[in-house]
């Protein structure tokens, strides 16, 4: 069975000098694809470089994360958008992400919205999927997205509210879930309610604040098989069938084949 990590930050500085080990861990666990999500121009550039170093294994999602909007200059925004346009024919660039809105930064809401809408318009222009961060803003985002002509939408680490999950599914969007699928009552409830055909797996590495059995461990895509096992248990389905469906979801969403 082949697995995929649809959301990991391989270009994060915490993973400096560890990427080869992480990719090796992934291969050993039959995780056949990693989507390196980016935060800004520097990490977007690095994600593309990492994808070049591990073709058909590491893929790049480039964009501006809402956490980085506070210090973002107009020059860097334009530079990042230009990078994405210039790389459009690069087969390893498979999405725009991680982009979105975060309720923690309400003091710069207008600036967040400006950056987010710029990224969404770029996704329209280039016909690329989007990977979205929506902490505390999921309802707002799900309501605004239909006004854009987007190829594919992925809401990363979906947790709440359930009303937004219904709209997400009705709109044909996807969600990702990761290690909390094993232990978090809230995430486990989401998994029971989302159709398997709208679900992908992730780790969000280098995030570390997971509970047992992941606590104290470096986050790697080798966690993914445990996530799939938990999903199968919650769905009361065969683990191989679940793994196969999630693989098909990944391939259909990003337009790549898992080797």
User: Which 8-state DSSP code applies to residue 62?
Assistant: E
Residues 6+ apart with CB under 8 A from 132: 97, 98, 99, 100, 141, 153, 154, 155, 156
User: Which 8-state DSSP code applies to residue 88?
Assistant: T
Our CA angle for 19, 21, 23, nearest 5°, is: 70
Residue 80 lies in a domain: yes
Domain with 147 in it: 3-254
How far CA 200 is from CA of 41, 43, 111, 251, in Å, comes to: 26, 23, 30, 10
Residue 73 lies in a domain: yes
pLDDT given for residue 76 in this prediction = 96
pLDDT given for residue 94 in this prediction = 98
Q: Are 31 and 1 in contact (CB under 8 A)?
A: no
User: Which 8-state DSSP code applies to residue 13?
Assistant: G
- Residues 205-236: pLDDT tens digits? 999 889 999 998 999 999 999 999 999 999 99
How far CA 223 is from CA of 27, 37, 174, 193, in Å, comes to: 12, 17, 20, 22
Residue 35 lies in a domain: yes
pLDDT tens for each residue of the chain, 259 residues long: 999 999 999 999 999 999 999 999 999 999 999 999 999 999 999 999 999 999 999 999 999 999 999 899 999 999 999 999 999 999 999 999 999 999 998 889 999 999 999 999 999 999 999 999 999 999 999 999 999 999 899 999 999 889 999 999 999 999 999 999 999 999 999 999 999 999 999 999 999 889 999 998 999 999 999 999 999 999 999 999 999 999 999 999 999 999 7
pLDDT given for residue 151 in this prediction = 87
pLDDT given for residue 208 in this prediction = 84
pLDDT given for residue 99 in this prediction = 98
Q: Are 37 and 97 in contact (CB under 8 A)?
A: yes
pLDDT given for residue 233 in this prediction = 98
Residue 259 lies in a domain: no
Q: Give the containing element (helix H, strand E) for 74.
A: helix 74-86
The number of domains in the chain is 1
Our CA angle for 106, 112, 113, nearest 5°, is: 105
pLDDT given for residue 37 in this prediction = 98
Domain CATH for 122: 3.20.20.140
How far CA 51 is from CA of 55, 91, 162, 166, in Å, comes to: 6, 10, 35, 34
Q: Give the containing element (helix H, strand E) for 28.
A: helix 19-28
Q: Are 128 and 95 in contact (CB under 8 A)?
A: yes
The DSSP string of 167-224 is HHHHTT-EEEE-GGGGT-HHHHHHHHHS-GGGEEE---TT-----TTSTTSPP-GGGH
What is the pLDDT of the chain when averaged over all its residues? 96
């Amino acid at each position: 069975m082949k697995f995929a990590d649809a959301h990991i930050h391989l270009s994060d500085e915490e993973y400096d000098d560890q990427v080869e080990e992480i990719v090796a861990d992934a291969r050993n666990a039959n995780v056949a694809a990693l989507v390196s999500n980016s935060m800004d121009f520097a990490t977007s550039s690095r994600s593309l470089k990492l994808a070049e170093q591990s073709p058909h294994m590491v893929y790049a999602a480039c964009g501006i994360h809402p956490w980085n909007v506070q210090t973002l200059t107009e020059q860097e925004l334009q530079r990042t958008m230009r990078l994405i346009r210039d790389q459009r024919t690069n087969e390893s660039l498979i999405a725009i992400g991680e982009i979105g809105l975060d309720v923690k930064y309400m003091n710069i809401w207008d600036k967040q919205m400006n950056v987010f809408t710029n990224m969404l318009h770029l996704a329209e222009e280039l016909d690329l999927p989007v990977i979205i961060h929506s902490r505390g803003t999921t309802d707002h985002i799900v309501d605004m997205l239909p006004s854009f002509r987007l190829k594919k939408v992925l809401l990363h680490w979906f947790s709440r509210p359930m009303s937004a999950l219904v709209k997400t599914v009705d709109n044909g969007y996807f969600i990702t879930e990761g290690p909390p699928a094993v232990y978090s009552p809230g995430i486990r409830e989401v998994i029971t309610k989302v159709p398997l055909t709208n679900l992908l797996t992730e780790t969000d590495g280098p995030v570390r604040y997971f509970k047992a059995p992941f606590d104290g461990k470096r986050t790697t895509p080798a966690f993914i098989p445990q996530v799939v096992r938990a999903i199968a248990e919650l769905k009361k389905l065969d683990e191989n069938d679940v793994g196969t469906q999630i693989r098909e979801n990944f391939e259909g969403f990003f337009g790549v084949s898992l080797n």
